[in-house]
């Protein structure tokens, strides 16, 4: 019975964490370039139950040998193994703002890879993002809305001199007669990226980021457009209701175990 407590409680905790991931997705449904998180549930290791006993042997000494009779497998509950971002392309929408840029995947050599803008965080480290909601700061540098510098293909900051600039579909930024190529990188295994917040993604130490041309990936940039979040709000709401009902089911099981335990302690104990 005590094992039942833990099994039901683990189910409640798993659904609570799944609910948190879905709530975060819905909260970022209108965040440009946001990639929805998908919680993966996994069962705890199974246990093999066996009946312990002895067997008499037809000998003069009547030896008794220990035997084990398999009964079956028993699972002890589930847990959230990890939350995996879904890097599928979001819808492209027109904004009419010249500093907005949408990165559109055209050809990717592998389903596990994707293309990203490169930016520089407050510590000077390179980060990746799909959010092309850019602006120009007071010094004329192209930055994200959070103030992170957008980098070129040489990991240098892009200077626009606060003038009108154009971005070609190939990623060339032209301002006052000078041309700079946006730093677009291809990540072979997006599973090695970690979300840091504000739309930034951090690569692990062994991450392989290469130029799109070397990887055989092609893209197109669309100025005055943005890539929307790939969150399906209707599906996420349905999944939230499903997680809530499963949480309630585990809660009722836990309550039933608690009532049974109460009877065992109070009523059966009193009869003794």
**Residue 243 to residues 14, 15, 29, Cα–Cα distance (Å):** 9, 6, 19
pLDDT band with cut points at 50, 70 and 90 for residue 71: low
Burial 118-140 (b: 16+ CB within 10 A, else e): bbbbeeeeebbbbbbbbebeeee
Tens of pLDDT, residues 83-135: 889 999 999 999 999 999 999 999 999 888 999 999 999 999 999 999 999 99
Q: What is the pLDDT of residue 60?
A: 65
Query: What average pLDDT score do residues 69-75 get?
Result: 66
Mean of pLDDT values over 62-83: 73
Residue 17 near residue 39, CB atoms below 8 Å: yes
- Residue 187 above 70 pLDDT? yes
Query: What is the pLDDT at residue 53?
Result: 67
Across residues 33-56, what is the average pLDDT?
76
Distance CA 262, CA 136 (A): 66
The angle subtended at Cα 233 by Cα 231 and Cα 238, nearest 5°, is 120
Query: Does position 47 have pLDDT exceeding 70, yes or no?
Result: no
pLDDT tens digits along 137-178: 999 999 999 999 999 999 999 999 888 899 999 999 998 888
Task: Identify the CA nearest to 36 among candidates 87, 81, 112, 93.
Answer: 87
pTM of the model: 0.80
3 state DSSP class of 205: coil
């Amino acid at each position: 019975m005590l094992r039942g407590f833990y099994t039901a409680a683990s189910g409640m905790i798993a659904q609570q964490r799944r609910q948190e991931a879905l709530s975060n997705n819905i909260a970022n449904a209108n965040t440009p370039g946001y990639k929805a998180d998908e919680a993966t549930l996994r069962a705890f290791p199974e246990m093999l139950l066996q009946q312990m006993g002895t067997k008499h042997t037809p000998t003069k000494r009547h030896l008794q040998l220990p035997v084990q009779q398999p009964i079956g497998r028993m699972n002890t509950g589930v847990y959230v193994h990890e939350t995996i971002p879904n890097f599928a392309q979001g819808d492209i929408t027109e904004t009419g703002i010249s500093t907005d840029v949408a990165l559109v995947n055209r050809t990717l050599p592998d389903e596990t890879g994707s293309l990203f803008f490169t930016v520089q965080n407050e510590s000077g480290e390179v980060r990746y993002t799909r959010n092309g909601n850019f602006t120009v700061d007071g010094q004329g540098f192209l930055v994200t809305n959070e103030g992170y510098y957008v980098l070129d293909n040489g990991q240098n900051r892009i200077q626009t001199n606060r003038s009108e600039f154009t971005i070609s579909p190939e990623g060339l930024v032209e301002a006052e007669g000078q041309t700079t190529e946006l730093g677009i990188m291809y990540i072979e295994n997006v599973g090695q990226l970690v979300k840091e917040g504000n739309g930034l993604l951090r690569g692990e130490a062994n991450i392989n980021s290469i130029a799109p041309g070397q990887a055989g990936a092609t893209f197109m940039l669309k100025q005055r457009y943005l890539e929307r979040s790939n969150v399906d709000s209707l599906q996420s709401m349905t999944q939230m209701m499903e997680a809530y009902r499963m949480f309630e089911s585990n809660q009722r099981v836990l309550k039933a175990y608690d009532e049974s335990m109460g009877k065992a302690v109070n009523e059966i104990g009193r009869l003794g």
